[in-house]
Amino acid sequence: MTNLLRKPIMSVSILLILSVLSGCTAIVIGTVATISATASQDPRSIGTQIDDTNAVARISLALSRIEGLSEVSNIQVDVFNRQLLLTGTLQDNAWQSKINDIINDDPYLRKAHNQIRTGMTLSTSMQAKDILIANTIRAKYITSDEIESSRVNVVVSGGEVFLMGLLNNQQATRAVDIARNINNVKSVIRVFEII
């Protein structure tokens, strides 16, 4: 390759690399900004948010290590401000003692709510309904002037709605009222911390 061709190819290559890198940088900066904005609206400190996320990962991993549990269960782990909520289904109640051992052994948790339902399984259509219920409730909270949606974590399992978060008593009552009036909701269970 001649020197005359080498310089334009090198210039084009450098420009392509810079444009790709600047595009990636924009994506990274945008992602960090989105995460920062979401985190700043959360009533928990950044440290507590990270610790809660780590607790979810740690407890989920410990549950996955119980031999045979994953074949007979569908368990969701949520932690908000050091409060644990376990939801989902379990075919046999005999597993509950092993699950409770994991909960009791975790020093980070301040309070635990084991709401796993025994003897039932959720069909795909029921799981789809749960997702629709949760999204509808979240949308109602976003449009509500009385509730800061970032303060409420909505978990739905088998038509049962579990509401976690940090709210005052009036906001908690309003959040429950909104959730109760959504189609296909069987019950609403408060797991709030009242502030």
Question: Residue 29 pLDDT more than 70?
Answer: no
Residues 6 or more apart whose Cβ sits within 8 Å of residue 123: none
Query: Under DSSP, is residue 117 helix (H, G, I), strand (E, B) or coil?
Result: strand
Query: Under DSSP, is residue 159 helix (H, G, I), strand (E, B) or coil?
Result: coil
Question: Residue 191 pLDDT more than 80?
Answer: yes
- Judge whether 74 and 121 are in contact, CB under 8 Å: yes
Residues 6 or more apart whose Cβ sits within 8 Å of residue 184: 129, 132, 133, 159
Region 5-32: mean pLDDT is 47
> What are the pLDDT digits (tens) for 69-105?
999 999 999 999 999 999 999 998 999 999 999 999 9
Res. 36 pLDDT band, cuts 50 70 90? very low
Query: Under DSSP, is residue 153 helix (H, G, I), strand (E, B) or coil?
Result: strand
Spans of all domains in the chain: 1-41, 46-194
> What are the pLDDT digits (tens) for 129-172?
999 999 999 999 999 999 999 999 999 999 999 999 999 999 99
Full DSSP string of 12-31? HHHHHHHHHHHHHHHHHHHH
SS3 content of the chain, % helix, strand, coil (to 5): 55, 25, 20
Strands 160-167 and 187-194, by their bridges, are: parallel
* Phi then psi dihedrals of residue 186, to 5 deg: -85, -40
Whole-model pTM: value is 0.76
Q: What are the structure tokens assigned to 130, written together?
A: 């749960």
